[in-house]
Amino acid sequence: MLKIIIPTAMLVPTALLLNKALLFQTMTAYSMLLALTSLTLLNHPLNLKMYKLSPYLSTDTTSSPLIILSCWLLPLMMLASQNHLTHEPLSRKRTFLMTVSTLQTTLIMAFATPELVMFYIMFETTLIPTLIMITRWGNQTERLNAGLYFLFYTLASSLPLLVTLLYMNNKYLNMSMEIMLLNQTELTMKTTPLLWSACLLAFMVKLPLYGLHLWLPKAHVEAPIAGSMVLAAILLKLGGYGLIRVSPMIAPNPPALMLPIIILALWGIIMTSSICLRQTDLKALIAYSSVSHMGLVASAILIQTPWSLTGAMVLMIAHGLTSSALFTLANTNYERMHTRTLLLMRGLQIALPLMSTWWLLTNLTNMALPPTINLMGELLIISALFNWSTPTIILTGTGTLITATYSLYMFLMTQRGTLPTQLRQLAPTHTREHLIMTLHLLPLILLTLKPSLISSSFT
Residue 189 falls within a domain, yes or no? no
- The mean-pLDDT minimum among 60-64, 99-103, 127-131 falls in 60-64
Average pLDDT, integer, range 279-292: 95
- With bands split at pLDDT 50, 70 and 90, how would you rate the model's confidence at 140? confident
Instruction: Evaluate if residue 184 carries a pLDDT over 70.
Output: no
Q: Which pLDDT tens digit goes with each residue over 369-420?
A: 999 999 999 999 999 999 999 999 999 999 999 999 999 999 999 998 888 7
Q: What is the pLDDT of residue 251?
A: 74
Share of the chain residues as helix, strand and coil, in percent rounded to the nearest 5: 80, 0, 20
Mean model confidence pLDDT for the chain: 91
Average pLDDT, integer, range 426-448: 94
Residue 30 falls within a domain, yes or no? no
Q: What is the pLDDT of residue 279?
A: 93
- With bands split at pLDDT 50, 70 and 90, how would you rate the model's confidence at 45? low
Distance in angstroms (rounded) separating the CA atoms of residues 119 and 422? 51
Q: What is the pLDDT of residue 46?
A: 62
Instruction: Evaluate if residue 48 carries a pLDDT over 70.
Output: no
Q: Which pLDDT tens digit goes with each residue over 106-115?
A: 999 999 999 9
The dihedral built from the CA positions of residue 263, 264, 267 and 270, taken in this order, carries a sign that is negative
Residue 312 falls within a domain, yes or no? yes
Q: What is the pLDDT of residue 139?
A: 78
Instruction: Evaluate if residue 103 carries a pLDDT over 80.
Output: yes
CB-CB neighbours of 22 under 10 Å: 10
**Percent above pLDDT 70 for the chain:** 95
More confident residue, 250 or 435: 435
Q: DSSP 3-state assignment of 281?
A: strand
Average pLDDT, integer, range 49-59: 72
Q: What is the pLDDT of residue 189?
A: 54
What string of DSSP letters covers 382-421? HHHHHHH-TTHHHHHHHHHHHHHHHHHHHHHHHHSSPPPG
The CA-based dihedral angle spanning residues 127, 329, 33, 47, taken in that order and rounded to the nearest 10 degrees: 70
Q: In 118-211, at which residue ranges do the beta strands (DSSP E only) sit?
A: none
Residue 25 falls within a domain, yes or no? no
Q: What is the Cα Rg of the chain in Å?
A: 21
- The mean-pLDDT minimum among 38-42, 137-141, 144-148, 288-292 falls in 137-141
CB-CB neighbours of 334 under 10 Å: 17
Q: What is the pLDDT of residue 260?
A: 94
Residue 101 falls within a domain, yes or no? no
Residue 430 falls within a domain, yes or no? yes
> Which residues span the domain enclosing 257?
253-459
- The mean-pLDDT minimum among 46-55, 378-387, 444-453 falls in 46-55
Contact 209, 243 (CB under 8 A): no
What string of DSSP letters covers 34-73? HHHHHGGGG--SS--S-EEEETTEEE-TTHHHHHHHHHHH
Q: What is the pLDDT of residue 320?
A: 96
Residue 210 falls within a domain, yes or no? no
Query: In the 8-state DSSP scheme, what is residue 183?
Result: T
Instruction: Evaluate if residue 183 carries a pLDDT over 80.
Output: no
Q: What is the pLDDT of residue 49?
A: 62
- With bands split at pLDDT 50, 70 and 90, how would you rate the model's confidence at 434? very high
Global model pTM greater than 0.85: yes
Average pLDDT, integer, range 420-431: 80
Q: What is the pLDDT of residue 168?
A: 85
* Phi, psi dihedral angles at 191 (to 5 degrees): -70, 125
Could you tell me which residues come within 8 angstroms of residue 270 by beta carbon, excluding any fewer than 6 positions away? 395, 398, 399, 402
Q: Which pLDDT tens digit goes with each residue over 335-380?
A: 988 889 998 888 889 889 999 999 999 999 999 999 999 999 999 9
Instruction: Evaluate if residue 267 carries a pLDDT over 60.
Output: yes
Q: What is the pLDDT of residue 419?
A: 82
Q: What is the pLDDT of residue 187?
A: 63
- With bands split at pLDDT 50, 70 and 90, how would you rate the model's confidence at 421? confident
Average pLDDT, integer, range 199-215: 93
Average pLDDT, integer, range 138-142: 83
Instruction: Evaluate if residue 138 carries a pLDDT over 90.
Output: no
Domain count, the chain: 1
Contact 337, 297 (CB under 8 A): no
Q: What is the pLDDT of residue 53?
A: 65
Any idea what the Cα angle at residue 182 is, between residues 178 and 185, rounded to 5°?
Answer: 140
Average pLDDT, integer, range 166-182: 82
